[in-house]
Structure 1
Amino acid sequence: MSATTSRTDGAQLDVRKNRRAGSAKQSAKDAGAARQERSWKKLNTIWNLLPPIVLGILLLFAWYITTATGRINAFILPPPKDVFASLIDGLTGGLYWEHILITVQESLAGFLLGVIVALPLGYGVAKSRFLANMLQPYLSAGQAIPAIVLAPFLFLWFNTGPLPVTIICMLVVLFPMVINTIFGVQTIERELLDAARLEGASGLSLLSYIEFPLALPAVLAAVRTGLTLSITGALVGEFFCSPDKGLGALIQMALHQYNMSFMFATVIILAILAALYYSATWLLIKLAEIIY
């Protein structure tokens, strides 16, 4: 009896050892697969970043060669070293920071005002035939009129200051956001809406749990476009309605002084600012993917 029990215990011990060994092998295999997946993700990230970096280097090299050989007059295209020297002087001397802050405030204010108006307006036009028939001709006409044409009117009505700049910025971002919102709501499959209504969803619950998540990709595309365009709106407004404040004012100053290096340096600041805005919208999209 004891011999049989000993053999049984030994067999059970061997089974447990084999199970532990198998679990350890599986854990090691899973860990290796996870490491390989992380490596592939890092490689993919590097691969995605490589083309714009290479293109930027090539453009910078072509810029240097063109100016170094004297093919283009420095008054038209200044050398890279002069532009970057002007950029460093403006940053270290504190010239840029105050104007960057003003442009950021105006662009974000105009963008937020555009979001507050565009999203409900786009949803209403998409859901109501009456609103669509009433507003779409004006939306089309407003989209066809450049903001630079409206800027002198706002200058005459509101004089200089941040208010007309914010309004111009809002008008620049408004129409693309409205159109994208309309598109996102209208492309929701009617079968899904009908099924949700059969389950008792209506009004705010239908909007919150069905329509908004399904239209979210188009809404986020509208927000992404609008935030990037807000820089353009702020610049257009500053050209006309803020002659002494903002990055647009610095470009005007550089133009009047015939200082091309300073003008190019300011454009680089604007490009960096637009890239930061674009990156912020990318983070917003990732956050929405996590939530929904």
Structure 2
Amino acid sequence: MTITTRATLPEAPPASPDRRANKTRPWLDTAAARFGLPFVVLAAAILGWEVSVQTGLVNPITVPAASDTFAALIEISQTRYFWESTWLTLQETIYGFLIGGTAGLLIGALTGTFKLFRTALWPFVVAFQNTPRVALAPVFLTWFGFGMTSKVVMAAVICFFPVVINTVAGIASVDDNARTLFRTYGATTQQTFFRLTLPTAAPITFAGIKTALTLALLGAIVGEFVGASEGLGVLVKEFNFQLDVAKGFAVVVFLAIIGLVLYALIELIERRLITWKH
């Protein structure tokens, strides 16, 4: 008599919730969804803004209608002074971001990699973070004057800490077993950093960089509020003093657009460099 046995293959593990979501809603990963959904939300917000003012739910003296705001933006965008102010604010933002971001990457890499630097520097980094940075604007104005330098320093100071924190967090996220494996195969410290630590930490670090760039714009505007003769922050103050609320809102909307463009630019760079994440 012949006995036949049949091997039973193990069942595949259940799909994770994220994978099931991607299978049931693949349209969310399309370019149309990534750009279309935010556009729909933006259009609904603008429509609600316009309707609330036109129907009297919001006082038009304090909050102008969306149509008036965009009309004011078109009007001021036709002046040379507006674009000169824009260029100045962009320079302050970019220079501050480069200085603060570079310092943040360096301090974060040192404190995250070497215990000596972490023990020596981290208490000062935490103390620096707990200092109200906005209150430093008058101090920088006294030290560096009313020119561009004080605004660049303000932008650098504000964007410094997010880069430090995310760089340290990214380095800390490296698996200890992976480090041990690299050491077992005789990898040098340099090889371990560039082939393990850097690729692992890069996505988290870029999250801090994106936050830092938008905060650098905020720092430049704060510096211009405190003391400056040019810049988009100065324009907002001037229009508010003139009680021209529509133009003041127009500059604020334009600043939001600049922040969005800067964020999208860093996101594009991230997608080009960190191909394994995307």
Alignment TM-score, normalising by the size of structure 1? 0.81
Alignment of 1:10-29 (within 5 A): none
Letter in 2 for 1:257: Q
8 A Cα contact 2:158 2:219, kept in partner: yes
1:141 aligns with 2:103: no
The corresponding residue for 2:159 is 173
The corresponding residue for 1:126 is 112
Alignment of 1:1-292 (within 5 A): 44-241=30-227, 243-290=228-275
Partners of 1:233 and 1:212 in 2: CA distance: 29
Percent identical:
28
Partners of 2:183 and 2:29 in 1: CA distance: 46
Partners of 2:213 and 2:224 in 1: CA distance: 17
Partners of 2:234 and 2:254 in 1: CA distance: 13
Larger radius of gyration: 1
Partners of 2:87 and 2:191 in 1: CA distance: 40
Which stretch of structure 1 is more off in the superposition, 44-53 or 95-104?
Answer: 44-53
Which stretch of structure 1 is more off in the superposition, 80-89 or 105-114?
Answer: 80-89
Letter in 1 for 2:67: K
Letter in 1 for 2:193: L
Partners of 2:141 and 2:130 in 1: CA distance: 20
8 A Cα contact 1:147 1:236, kept in partner: no
Flag the 1:276–1:82 CA change in 2: closer, same or farther, 3 A.
same
Letter in 2 for 1:286: R
Gaps of 5+ in 2: 1-25
Letter in 1 for 2:101: V
Letter in 2 for 1:53: F
Query: SS at the partner of 2:77?
Result: helix
Query: SS at the partner of 1:88?
Result: helix
Report the RMSD for the aligned CA atoms in angstroms: 2.0
- Tell me how many residue pairs correspond in the alignment: 252
Letter in 2 for 1:196: F
* 1:12-52 residue CA offsets vs partner (Å, 9 max, x unmatched): xxxxxxxxxxxxxxxxxxxxxxxxxxxx7798222233332
C-alpha displacement at 1:262, in angstroms?
0.8
* 1:52-91 residue CA offsets vs partner (Å, 9 max, x unmatched): 2222222212211222123333220112222112100111
Partners of 1:291 and 1:43 in 2: CA distance: 17
Partners of 2:112 and 2:121 in 1: CA distance: 11
Gaps of 5+ in 1: 1-39
Which stretch of structure 1 is more off in the superposition, 272-281 or 123-132?
Answer: 123-132
8 A Cα contact 2:27 2:33, kept in partner: no
Q: Which runs of 4+ in 1 moved over 3 A?
A: 40-43
